[in-house]
């Protein structure tokens, strides 16, 4: 009887270890190259379930590569992050050669964080700031939502089951957010959903980047709709 108990315990331990290895976790990864001086990258790296982690990591890497590349249409097909970092540095050297009198210093910083993680969905925010000599730098935040079971990158329309009702609720929160500042927006009465929709521990986050619905001076517009107002309309709860 004791031998059987030990055998069952060993089987349970092995099974538990295998399940733990499959559990998806994230570590922060800093990426640079030998001669890099102006690019700083710190992004989450998925580990655990290899098939799921690979899909997520490839999607995050593609955003980073596109952000650094001056020809984004070809970047994700032909370059790695390391190649993109070196190319960005090379472009800056070429700029200095062509305009030696310019005091402008280029910089690129890309940071990522896990906004939300459940057994159903994972939301990641990537913030990229690039300054390549213009009047001001270019700040872009990208939300990426993944199916936690498959690693599949989700579209905004995959997140909700009733887009019409979702948009109505979002419009009310948007109007509250910009109350008294309507003049700062292009068409405040013509509500559109943002390109960035994600999750945090409170609810669903909607974020508009610079120029998406307002001039640069207005900055980002962001608000959160609590889960309690949206549970019937969400696919990943």
Question: 77 pLDDT band (50/70/90 cuts)?
Answer: low
High-pLDDT (> 90) share of the chain, %:
81
Residue 12 — φ and ψ, nearest 5°? -65, -40
Mean pLDDT of 177-201: 97
What the block records as the tokens of 61 is 């890497």
Q: What is the pLDDT of residues 3-38, one digit of tens each?
A: 554 444 444 444 444 444 468 999 999 999 999 999
Indicate whether 101 belongs to any domain. yes
Do both 166 and 124 map to the same domain?
no
Indicate whether 140 belongs to any domain. yes
Mean pLDDT of 108-116: 98
Do both 172 and 141 map to the same domain?
no
Q: Yes or no: say if 94 and 106 are a contact pair by the CB < 8 Å rule.
A: no
Do both 33 and 86 map to the same domain?
yes
Lowest mean pLDDT among 46-50, 129-133, 167-171: 129-133
Indicate whether 17 belongs to any domain. no
Indicate whether 4 belongs to any domain. no
pLDDT value of position 8: 46
Q: How many domains does the chain have?
A: 2
Indicate whether 9 belongs to any domain. no
Q: What is the pLDDT of residues 37-56, one digit of tens each?
A: 999 999 999 999 999 999 99
Last residue of a domain, one of 121, 154, 187: 154
pLDDT value of position 12: 47
pLDDT value of position 76: 55
Bridge partners (DSSP) listed for residue 43? 29
pLDDT value of position 67: 94
pLDDT value of position 65: 95
pLDDT value of position 63: 95
Question: 140 pLDDT band (50/70/90 cuts)?
Answer: very high
Indicate whether 180 belongs to any domain. yes
Mean pLDDT score of the chain, rounded to an integer? 90
Indicate whether 14 belongs to any domain. no
CATH classification at residue 63: 3.30.565.40
Choose among 210, 15, 71, 20: nearest CA to 128.
210
Tell me how many helices (H) and strands (E) the chain has: 6, 9
pLDDT value of position 23: 84
Q: Does the structure show a pLDDT above 90 at 75?
A: no
Residue 152 — φ and ψ, nearest 5°? -65, 130
Q: Yes or no: say if 138 and 160 are a contact pair by the CB < 8 Å rule.
A: no
CATH classification at residue 203: 3.90.640.20
Q: Yes or no: say if 152 and 146 are a contact pair by the CB < 8 Å rule.
A: yes
Indicate whether 80 belongs to any domain. yes
Q: Which domain covers residue 93, as residue numbers?
A: 24-154
Beta strands 107-117; 39-47: pairing state = parallel
Do both 55 and 150 map to the same domain?
yes
Do both 37 and 140 map to the same domain?
yes
């Amino acid at each position: 009887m004791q031998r059987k108990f030990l055998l069952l315990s060993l089987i349970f331990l092995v099974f538990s270890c295998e399940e733990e290895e499959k559990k998806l976790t994230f570590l922060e990864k800093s990426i640079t190259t030998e001669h890099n001086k102006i690019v700083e990258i710190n992004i989450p790296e998925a580990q655990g379930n290899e098939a799921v982690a690979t899909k997520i990591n490839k999607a995050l890497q593609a955003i980073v590569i596109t952000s650094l590349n001056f020809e984004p249409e070809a970047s994700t097909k032909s370059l790695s992050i390391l190649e993109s970092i070196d190319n960005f540095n090379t472009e800056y050297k070429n700029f200095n050669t062509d305009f030696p009198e310019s005091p402008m210093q280029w910089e690129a910083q890309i940071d990522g964080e896990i906004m939300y993680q459940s057994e159903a969905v994972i939301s990641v925010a990537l913030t990229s700031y690039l300054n390549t000599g213009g009047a001001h730098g270019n700040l872009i935040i990208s939300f990426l939502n993944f199916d936690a079971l498959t690693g599949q990158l989700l579209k905004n329309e995959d997140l909700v089951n009733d887009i019409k009702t979702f948009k109505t609720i979002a419009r009310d929160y948007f109007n509250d957010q910009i109350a008294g500042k309507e003049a700062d927006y292009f068409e405040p009465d013509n509500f559109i959903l943002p390109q960035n929709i994600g999750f945090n521990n409170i609810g669903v986050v909607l974020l508009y980047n610079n120029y998406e619905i307002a001039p640069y001076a207005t900055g980002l517009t962001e608000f959160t709709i609590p889960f309690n107002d949206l549970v019937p309309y969400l696919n990943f709860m």
